[in-house]
Amino acid sequence: MIRKLLATVSRLGWVRKAAMSTPLLRGLAWRFVAGESQEEGLEAARRLNARGLRATLNFIGTHVRRQPEAIAAADTAVRCLERIHAAGLEAHLSMKLTQIGLDLDPGLCRRELERVLETAHALGNFIRVDMEESPYTGETLAIFQEALARHPDTVGIVLQSYLRRTRADLERMVALGARIRLVKGGYWESGEVAFRRKAEVDQAFLGDLEYLLRNGRRPAIATHDPAAVDRALQVAEQLGLAKDDLEFQMLYGVREDLAESLVRRGYRVRSYVPYGSHWYEYVLGCVRKDPGQVLQVRKAS
């Protein structure tokens, strides 16, 4: 119920305007968001690299309603890739397809994604296509699969274990050789399409995690759950995987202690670093996905 309410409230313009001027929310935002400018995002990546952490930068924004906005978002991604290359940073990008026009015109979305992927390929970088709400899952996977055929080493995908369809999608993507980031998922979804109980989500995630580690290509396990991390380490050891055969991914500003402990043990860890003026959308999304986690971070600040 809380997730559904927050999803509704976050779309109200007057609520957004009021919240963005609230010191409490702005103070909370800078624990999860690198800043409003691309330079602040790149600087966060520099600091992470200095601590042995990799980064994936995300320019915040979804569901654009005008073609110039979609093209501008792709322009931003291209510039960010160029700046990452020039600075020698260990960082790649995550992108949502609705930010580059999926709601407007799938053809536009495909063209803008291709433009970004061509730049990433030329610079030896990588783009992860983020997954969004369940109505977009099928089309996102279709567009990703087309891109994967052209850029097998340049593009990856995110799968959300709480969706009931995900095991079938996981098996299909693994068979295609896709590089997969596995997450639990956090959008508000009906019980028809998603597991709603925490125990069910955890069980699905652990099962998918084991399948991905056994069969996947350069798997990325995105979690802050120590039990899930421990299970991933157990399975990796049983399979004889090298420490750099897998990667753990965590949100910027969350469980930094866990991330740094994994780095000290020789594992690859990547921080998901959002930036941009639409930080309100991202922070409300974090609250919606895991209110307890956000409150815990705030209490510790």
Residues serving a catalytic function are 130, 181
Helix axes 106-122, 67-87, angle to 10 degrees: 10
CA–CA separation, 185 and 87 (whole Å) = 32
Contact indicator for 119, 81 with CB cutoff of 8 Å: yes
CA–CA separation, 200 and 242 (whole Å) = 30
DSSP string for residues in 29-87: HHHH---SSHHHHHHHHHHHHHTT-EEEEEE------SHHHHHHHHHHHHHHHHHHHHH
Contact indicator for 258, 288 with CB cutoff of 8 Å: no
Contact indicator for 105, 71 with CB cutoff of 8 Å: no
Using CA atoms, how far residue 157 sits from 101, 148, 165, 227, 228, in Å, is 18, 9, 15, 24, 20
CA–CA separation, 103 and 227 (whole Å) = 37
DSSP string for residues in 147-196: HHHH-TTTEEEEEETTBTTHHHHHHHHHHTT-EEEEE---S---TTTB--
Neighbours of 207 (CB within 10 A): 14
Contact indicator for 85, 47 with CB cutoff of 8 Å: no
